[in-house]
Amino acid sequence: MESKTTYKVFRFENEVCWKSGLHGTSCAPGKPDLEISNPPEFKGEGNAWSAEEMFVGSVNACTFMTFLAYARHKSLPLVSYESDADGVLDHTEGKWRFTEITLRPHIRVKSKEDIEAARTIIEDAHADCFITHSLSLPVKIFPEIRVA
Amino acid sequence: MESKTTYKVFRFENEVCWKSGLHGTSCAPGKPDLEISNPPEFKGEGNAWSAEEMFVGSVNACTFMTFLAYARHKSLPLVSYESDADGVLDHTEGKWRFTEITLRPHIRVKSKEDIEAARTIIEDAHADCFITHSLSLPVKIFPEIRVA
């Protein structure tokens, strides 16, 4: 007999509203509003989040949140997690698009014995990141794991 | 003689830092910090932005910002722009991923004569959105344009 898992479908919402010039507000249900504008590269003033930063940030956040969930599940004693990310926007095959995102998580654990577990967890989190699965570009990860 | 346009390459940065539990902070250079957490669907408390909301928000914001830039370039008198977006996260081909994002921009212009121009601009903005070009899923758009 065949066993089949049934999965739920999730839906995430957003609203943007124009304020003036190249400025607006980005809203998610029940969350503080986020001021957004064009980045300075594209005539914005650079004091509010750009769509490009939200995009790169969403990949960094998804990998991070997946790591936290898996670390909790495996009872990994985590001391700190910081991750630098950058995304390259390039003009290729006639279109502007992101062509690569790089994540550099710096993970601190309590003891030497936890290093390998942390490495497995960050690799799994990277492989399972929902948002990375939704992109047409490679996401590279270079984890650096040390004892605090 | 062949004419060739040279394009710049842009780089966008982000940093996440763990705070506690399933909470952290997402930072973009020179911008206010954004509190992030897992969404309630995945054991978060739901009072901070999730990676999933940032992701859907980035597509909505990119289309919006491209619209604003094109509208300015074409001197379109804009009265208001609000856009609802939602993204569907589904389990397909063995992986969780976003399978569709839908944008519903509600655009208000000053006069009947501006409706067609606004329609062309939103269609161009959708076609040219950098972030939409970076996804492996379809982004659908249903603009509704009226005189204010």
Domain ranges across chain B: 11-49, 51-147
Question: Has residue A66 got a pLDDT over 70?
Answer: yes
Which residues lie closer than 8 Å to B90 by C-beta, 6 or more apart? A7, A9, A10, B96, B97, B98, B99
Burial label for A109, CB within 10 Å (0-12, 13-18, 19+), is buried
For this complex, say whether ipTM is above 0.85: yes
User: A57 vs B37: CB contact, 8 Å cut-off?
Assistant: no
The fraction of chain A above a pLDDT of 90, given in percent, is 87
Query: What is the per-residue pLDDT across A70-103, written as a single tens digit (0 to 9) for each?
Result: 999 999 999 999 999 999 999 999 999 999 999 9
pLDDT band at A3 (very low <50, low <70, confident <90, very high): low
Report the helix count and the strand count for chain A, using DSSP H and E.
2, 7
Supply the pLDDT for residue B1.
53
The residue ranges of chain B whose pLDDT is under 70 are 1-4
Could you say which residues from 31 to 70 on chain B have a Cβ atom under 8 Å away from some Cβ of chain A?
Answer: 31-32, 34-39, 41-44, 46-62, 64-65, 68-69
Q: Summarize the confidence of residues A61-78 as an average pLDDT.
A: 96
E strand or H helix at A64: helix A51-73
Separation between Cα atoms, residue B54 and residue B109, nearest integer Å: 28
Distance from CA of A119 to the nearest CA of B (A): 17
Supply the pLDDT for residue A39.
83
Separation between Cα atoms, residue B131 and residue A93, nearest integer Å: 15
Q: How many residues does this entry show for chain A?
A: 148
Supply the pLDDT for residue A7.
84
Supply the pLDDT for residue B40.
81
Please name the member of B26, B82, B137 whose beta carbon is closest to the beta carbon of A57: B26
CA distances to A75, A131, A136, B53, B95 from B134, rounded to whole Å, are 35, 11, 5, 17, 19
Q: Which residues of B45-67 are buried (b: 16+ CB within 10 A; e: fewer)?
A: eeebbbbbbbbbbbbbbbbbbbb
Output the pTM of the full model.
0.95
Q: How far apart are the first and last CA of chain A?
A: 50
Could you say which residues from 86 to 145 on chain A have a Cβ atom under 8 Å away from some Cβ of chain B?
Answer: 86-91, 95-98, 128, 130-131, 133-137
E strand or H helix at A71: helix A51-73
Q: What CATH architecture does domain A51-147 belong to?
A: 2-Layer Sandwich (3.30)
Question: Has residue A1 got a pLDDT over 80?
Answer: no
Which residues lie closer than 8 Å to A75 by C-beta, 6 or more apart? none
